């Protein structure tokens, strides 16, 4: 798991459960790609509840409608098949990512926090809209979706009614999934499930995002 690629972060809803988000604008393992824009500071924060410029560092996918109030950003699905999504306009390398959010309720709706590199390494949190007290953690390497046996789910009290902070803390030696400051899962570079270092996504210094 020596890290040689960068990743962007995306917040999205309405996706199939426990599936990899296997898309990229340009895969550097297949062709020469343009250079990515990197995060140019040691820390970065977007607070959609209080900062009128919080949206400036994010790009919206098609059919993404977001409204704002003192609780934060609210993603809205108007018709079947829409997946409102925002993605960071920069890439980043190692560190800690925190997202404070309430996942969307509703059978068939999936709320996700996804970190993905251009060569389709991925780490994610996924929330089923029909389940209010669980979150799924998963990872994929190089877009390989031949196996879905790495998913582990954890309990979260009233996830759809109460804000919780979901974090990823990554070093060269290990990745941790964290809920409200408590480590619930750890993946080490030396773990066999990490495929001898072939599963790798790259994170950066620090991101603190408030999403509703």
Query: In 3D, which of 140, 92, 149 has the Cα closest to residue 112?
Result: 140
Query: In 3D, which of 14, 11, 61 has the Cα closest to residue 210?
Result: 11
The C-alpha R_g of the chain, in whole angstroms, comes to: 16
Candidates 30, 116, 126, 186; catalytic one = 126
Strand pairing category for 7-13 and 110-117: antiparallel
Query: d(Cα 37, Cα 91) in Å, to the nearest integer?
Result: 6
Structure tokens at 60: 């919206």
Query: d(Cα 206, Cα 184) in Å, to the nearest integer?
Result: 19
CA torsion sign for 203, 204, 208, 210 is negative
173 included as an active-site residue: no
55 included as an active-site residue: no
Query: d(Cα 89, Cα 7) in Å, to the nearest integer?
Result: 11
Provide the terminal-to-terminal Cα distance of the chain, rounded to the nearest Å: 33
Candidates 30, 55, 116, 122; catalytic one = 122
Q: Write out the catalytic residue numbers.
A: 122, 126
């Amino acid at each position: 798991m020596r890290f040689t690629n960068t990743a962007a972060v995306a917040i999205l809803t309405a996706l199939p459960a426990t599936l990899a988000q296997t898309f990229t604008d340009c895969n550097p393992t297949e062709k020469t790609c343009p250079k990515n824009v990197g995060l140019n500071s040691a820390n970065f924060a977007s607070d959609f509840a209080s900062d009128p410029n919080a949206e400036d560092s994010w790009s919206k996918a098609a059919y993404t409608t977001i409204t704002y109030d003192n609780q934060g950003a609210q993603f809205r699905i108007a018709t079947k098949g829409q997946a409102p999504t925002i993605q960071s306009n920069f890439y980043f390398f190692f560190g800690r990512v925190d997202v404070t959010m309430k996942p969307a309720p509703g059978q068939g709706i999936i709320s996700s926090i996804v970190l993905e590199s251009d060569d389709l390494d991925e780490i994610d949190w996924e929330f089923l809209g029909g389940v209010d007290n669980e979150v799924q953690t998963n990872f994929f390497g190089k877009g390989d979706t031949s196996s879905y046996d790495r998913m582990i789910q954890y309990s979260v009290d009233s996830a759809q009614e109460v804000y919780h902070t979901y974090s990823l803390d990554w070093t060269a030696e290990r990745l941790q999934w964290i809920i409200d400051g408590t480590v619930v899962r750890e993946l080490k570079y030396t773990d066999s499930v990490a495929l001898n270092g072939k599963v790798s996504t790259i994170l950066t210094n620090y991101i603190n995002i408030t999403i509703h």
